[in-house]
Structure 1
Amino acid sequence: MEEQQQLMEDEIDLREIFQTLRRRAKVIIGTTLVCAVVMALVSFFVLTPVYEATTTLFAGRATVTPENASTPQTLQSEMAIAKELVKDYREIATSRAVLQQVINDLNLQMTPEELSELVSVQLKNDTRIIMISVKNTDPNMAALMANKLAEVLIDAVQQILNVENVQVIDAATVPDEPVSPRKVLNTAVAAVVGLIVGIALAFMFEYFDNSIRTPEDVERHLGLPVLTVIPDLGNEGGE
């Protein structure tokens, strides 16, 4: 008996939820559309597109003497050393000296700190591959800066570590599409957020709405039983 009563109460609660969503459908739909449209306008017409160009480098064999170049032990040792040096290369690529050299060579109007915010140096998994990415609002400048940074890094490695084992695999090309803003994704996320906000507003409005519309509202708000219901005869020509 108690289980049946609980099921009836759950059914009534679900019915009230659906009724609330239906009554406040305009609020929900309106909030969703407003959020989506505003974000679409901002993404398409306000935010400046940012492009990213990437140069791929490889840390190969270090320079060795002819006496030990062909031994397996030397080759294995070189690979282990190269993997450790790759981490150093990443730090050198973002060092102030290297960034300042890039700025000087390209005559950029920025500080090394500002350039550092545009640069990303990553190691691909557990390999000796280094990926240097540079973001800029100008796609041509993004590619130029990435290639110049790779060039300066190679020179810096030769001077600092006295090795010549870094070479370019793929030079950066001019990107066709911006990496941000992600217009469609931003609009979709804004629509979802607007839907959630709209549903929250719908239940908030319903909570503060004390108007009586149905016999069930009388019982719920006033705690009084409904003895009779007077039909609306207006549509049938009644007075």
Structure 2
Amino acid sequence: MINQSVNDDEITIDLTELFIALRAKIHIILLSGILMALLAFVGTKLFITPMYTSVTKLYVLSRQDSSSGVTYNELQSGAQLTKDYAELVTSRPILEQVIAVLNLDMEVKDLEGRITVDTPTDTRILRINVEDENPKKAKEIADVLREAVSNEITEIMHAESVDAIEDGSLPTEPSSPNFMRNMILGGMLGVLVSFVIVMWMFIRDDTIKTPDDVEQYLGLNVLTSIPIKENTKRGKKVKGLSANKAMKNMRR
């Protein structure tokens, strides 16, 4: 029980000293976070190419929807078919057709990586997003892709009609990269790294700095101490004596 009490006291003292050490270095930790956030901003600005996203929307009307008395189940079935239509958007024949029409200097996989398709819940609307470095080129790809998809859906899925809700938008601002997100992540990384370094230095530091350290590490009572004036200039920096070295000297 006595040993357990001593260990608990030592843990409490260590955590308290660690907290004090971190508080003393809080300005360094915050400065590291700010510096890393600035580096993330500069790196994003210089090394990441801005990308623009053009959005176009389609509405698909199936043959059964054109009849009277459409039930809820039929509407649900139409919404499910919309997911099938979405798969056609990034199919190889359609992408090859878009590349041929616009004479794009890219492979099918490259073009597929720039296209995302989503369908709002319980709707028969296809929302096609096309990303490119050039905003005008992104719009052109979106428009040609919309036309190609409309023809394929009509021929393959035998849809009643495919109407364009929105033509490809002409983006005026880049959709990526996200400067704010990168700066926040960079700042968090800087704070975390500096926090770990300060904590590691605290754990590795076993130098004797106060009379309490002498009693704790060496088990000796301090009879007196010599105060040093704050304004006194030192010719050379005197390093603290570590507890391990002090113990060795005591044994000698």
- TM-score tier by shorter-chain length is 0.7 to 0.9
Instruction: Give the structure 1 partner of residue 213 of structure 2.
Output: 217
CA offsets 1:162-190 (integer angstroms, 9 cap, x no match): 32332111222111222211112211221
Quick check: 222-231 or 86-95, which moved more? 222-231
Instruction: Give the structure 2 partner of residue 110 of structure 1.
Output: 106
Q: How does 1:30-45 map to 2 (within 5 A)?
A: 30-45=31-46
1:190 equivalent in alignment to 2:186: yes
Q: Provide the C-alpha distance between the structure 2 equivalents of 1:194 and 1:52, rounded to a whole number of angstroms.
A: 31
Instruction: Give the structure 2 partner of residue 91 of structure 1.
Output: 87
> Could you tell me how far 1:81 is from its partner in structure 2?
4.1
Preserved contact between residue 21 and residue 202 of structure 2 (Cα < 8 Å): yes
Preserved contact between residue 62 and residue 78 of structure 1 (Cα < 8 Å): no
> Could you tell me how far 1:141 is from its partner in structure 2?
1.2
Q: Provide the C-alpha distance between the structure 1 equivalents of 2:65 and 2:41, rounded to a whole number of angstroms.
A: 58
Structure 1 residues 225 and 132, CA gap change in structure 2 (3 angstroms): farther
Q: SS at the partner of 2:128?
A: strand
> Could you tell me how far 1:27 is from its partner in structure 2?
4.3
Q: SS at the partner of 2:56?
A: strand
5+ long unaligned stretches in structure 1: none
Greater RCO, 1 or 2 (C-alpha within 8 Å, sep 6+): 1
1:176 equivalent in alignment to 2:177: no
Q: SS at the partner of 1:133?
A: strand
Structure 1 residues 136 and 201, CA gap change in structure 2 (3 angstroms): same
Q: SS at the partner of 2:208?
A: coil
Q: Provide the C-alpha distance between the structure 2 equivalents of 1:205 and 1:186, rounded to a whole number of angstroms.
A: 28
1:227 to 200, 217, 223: 223
1:130 to 126, 129, 138: 126
> Could you tell me how far 1:200 is from its partner in structure 2?
0.8
* Alignment TM-score, normalising by the size of structure 2: 0.79
Quick check: 36-45 or 95-104, which moved more? 36-45
Identity %: 32
Counterpart residue identity of residue 97, structure 1: P
> Could you tell me how far 1:150 is from its partner in structure 2?
1.1
Q: Provide the C-alpha distance between the structure 2 equivalents of 1:90 and 1:113, rounded to a whole number of angstroms.
A: 17
Q: Provide the C-alpha distance between the structure 2 equivalents of 1:105 and 1:58, rounded to a whole number of angstroms.
A: 23
> Could you tell me how far 1:212 is from its partner in structure 2?
2.5
2:142 to 139, 142, 146: 146
Preserved contact between residue 55 and residue 132 of structure 1 (Cα < 8 Å): yes
Q: Provide the C-alpha distance between the structure 2 equivalents of 1:60 and 1:84, rounded to a whole number of angstroms.
A: 13
How many residues are aligned here? Answer: 229
Preserved contact between residue 150 and residue 162 of structure 2 (Cα < 8 Å): yes
5+ long unaligned stretches in structure 2: 234-252
* Alignment TM-score, normalising by the size of structure 1: 0.83
